Structure 1
């Protein structure tokens, strides 16, 4: 079931209409409303090298019974690498995918580099009750060292390292002013287990602990 295709008339709704109710979508063509579970999307973000992929595997053990933990690069394939509009095709595909996964009743924890300005303006944002952001950060010198130590095939030249450090500086500076604001978590001195525990606490505080 595609979240933007009406199950009655088959028309495509480019802009999801949630006016029919909290957990309903309404077709703009035929007016039919259909059940649709709108849950929060939890984004564990931050620059490359701050530990997102490593900690995602540990989050599966901690959160797997209540949440679906997904790594954003899973869909980083040729057909979605179009850089137009801040990789809008890639972002929109992820929002639709996460929205459909959440119809199982389990919210998605999405691990990958993303910021509110890249998701909040998209039409698919309406498929969620809210999107929450926790950004992993790291001391700039430590982060640069991690990136330079990566295998050569990953292409981390000095220009790319500098771009990543610039992105982190922007994120740290603007985190509290973004809408919604981004929570920061420094991983400089923390191992993967400690970072996973901190993310677990943030998830519980944001989405609510298990009953």
Structure 2
């Protein structure tokens, strides 16, 4: 139930859990996401975060708060259908948790797909040229991967990790499905 702070008007509102499937580029989010959508189609809505990475939402501010807020609002509205959202894209708790829209969710659960640096770098170098994975950009992503692997457990809330270095796609999808089902509880 939402309640207006000014007039007290009440409106029914579903505050469901949001699932953030995160991690560095090349770790497997865009590969695991469609498999999750197929496997859990009756339980959740799986969305690719980058679809809204467009002109007006590419705010050049640390953490990209306009982009993040837009996604939280969109997910909260989709939740009104009764199905939680799994948002696939690079995000960490510090980019969602402080936003005013965070209150629209019961919980936000985070699962980061990560990989060993050599494997991640090889995946990024193998991408087509139009993806523009230059050596400095790859180095930046490797730094993020290392930072995430080292600090995920201390984040608020903690971020669960799944290493995709040697894992087959089915194992990554199984792990993500188990994480989602645990977060759904009795929903």
Counterpart-to-counterpart distance in 2, 1:188 and 1:144 = 11
1:133 to 104, 110, 123: 110
Matched position secondary structure for 2:63: helix
1:145 to 122, 138, 150: 122
Mean alpha-carbon deviation: is it higher for 188-197 or for 41-50?
188-197
Runs of 4+ in 1 over 4 A off after TM superposition: none
1:164 to 116, 138, 141: 141
Q: 1:95 to 1:143 in 2, by over 3 A?
A: same
Q: TM-score, normalised by structure 1?
A: 0.86
The CA RMSD over aligned residues, in Å, is 1.1
Q: Name 1:188's counterpart in structure 2.
A: 165
Give unpaired runs (5+ residues) of structure 1: 1-23
| Bigger-Rg structure (1/2) | 1
Q: Name 2:70's counterpart in structure 1.
A: 93
Q: 1:209 to 1:52 in 2, by over 3 A?
A: farther
Counterpart-to-counterpart distance in 1, 2:43 and 2:3 = 28
Give the length in aligned residue pairs: 187
Mean alpha-carbon deviation: is it higher for 123-132 or for 69-78?
69-78
Post-superposition shift, 1:197? 1.2
Q: TM-score, normalised by structure 2?
A: 0.97
1:117 to 94, 104, 128: 94
Task: List per-residue Cα deviations over 1:140-167 (Å, max 9, x = no partner).
Answer: 0000010011111111101110100100
Query: Which structure carries more relative contact order (alpha carbon 8 Å, separation 6+)?
Result: 2
Counterpart-to-counterpart distance in 1, 2:50 and 2:119 = 23
